[in-house]
Amino acid sequence: MTDSEAEPAAEEPLDTAVLLADLAAWWAEPRRHHGFTGNPARRIAGSEWDQAIPEGTENPYWEIIRQLPLDEMMSLPWKTGPEPMLHWLSGHGEDYRMFADRFAICPTYSWSICTPGDITWLGKVLEGRGVVEVGAGTGYWAWQMGQAGIPVAAYEPNLPGENGFARKEWTTVLRDDCSAAKHHPDRALFLCWPSYADPWAAQALACYGGDLLIYSGEGEGGCTADDEFFKLLEAEWDEVEYSPRHVTYWGIRDYLTAYRRKT
């Protein structure tokens, strides 16, 4: 869950309660319209795209995401789901509001949005198997899976704040590099938003001995992983399904996909 294109993140993680209060105050104001299209602001909360957080669990990232204004141009043919925006242009193009910078919010939570539907989908795909996650960053996805009863061994070589890409940890994250994948062939390998043009995702996949890969990131030519990773994916793995309720930021083509090793 790192991003080599990122600017240095804020020294401290964002405060969930403060950001949610700021968003609530903004929505309480008279409804604004987009400066270019004139369309009213919308959000996931209360819409057909909303997803309930299971009782007894927490998902503060999703609470924030569902309150962000959406890209209002959903009528375009390539739009397949809601795209929350961390900014909003209202009035006559003179009022530009930034709720949070992506390079501050993602190192607090995750570079890939984790929805309740994603965790439900993972439980079905895994069929009782555990997960090994390398490059776990903040451990946010591991925390969400753990709350759902999915056993997770999460590894990350850097302490929070060391590389500027993870500002806190949400669960126990063990210190090891991508080679930790080889110790858990009985588990599914989970890779979330591997660093752009960095070899560690390909190295993790090469040393993993199991048969199930869960990948959250962009496709080949995007801003995650390197060419070698996608070569290995094409040569040795078959896509089997994807999470239909995954949500991605406006302008980001992020998918949550399951792959099986070719026989």
Per-residue tens of pLDDT for the chain, all 263 residues: 544 444 444 478 999 999 999 999 999 988 777 767 778 889 999 999 999 999 999 999 999 999 999 987 655 555 668 999 999 887 655 678 899 999 999 999 999 999 999 999 999 999 999 999 999 999 999 999 999 999 999 999 999 988 778 999 999 999 999 999 999 999 999 999 999 999 999 999 999 999 999 999 999 999 999 999 999 999 999 999 999 999 999 989 999 999 999 98
Given CA atoms 118, 120, 124, 127 in this order, what sign does their dihedral have?
A: positive
Given CA atoms 101, 105, 107, 110 in this order, what sign does their dihedral have?
A: negative
Residues 6 or more apart in contact with residue 160 via CB below 8 angstroms: 138, 166, 167, 168, 169
Are the beta carbons of 158 and 107 closer than 8 angstroms?
no
Token output for 153: 């061994």
Between CA 65 and CA 44 the distance in angstroms is 8
Q: Is the pTM of this model over 0.85?
A: yes
Are the beta carbons of 115 and 253 closer than 8 angstroms?
no
Give me the residue spans of the domains in the chain: 16-106, 111-261
Q: Please report the pLDDT score of residue 163 as a whole number.
A: 76
Identify each DSSP E strand in the chain by its residue range. 87-90, 95-98, 131-134, 152-155, 188-192, 212-217, 237-242, 255-261
What is the architecture, at CATH level 2, of domain 111-261?
3-Layer(aba) Sandwich (3.40)
Q: Quote the distance between the C-alpha of residue 131 and its chain's center.
A: 17
Q: Please report the pLDDT score of residue 91 as a whole number.
A: 64
DSSP letters spanning 84-128 = B-SEEEETTTTEEEES--HHHHHHHS-SS---HHHHHHHHHHHTT
Among residues 67, 103, 6, the alpha carbon closest in space to that of 247 is found at: 67
Token output for 55: 């009782």
Between CA 198 and CA 20 the distance in angstroms is 34
- Distance, first Cα to last Cα, the chain: 29
Between CA 176 and CA 123 the distance in angstroms is 25
Q: Please report the pLDDT score of residue 187 as a whole number.
A: 98
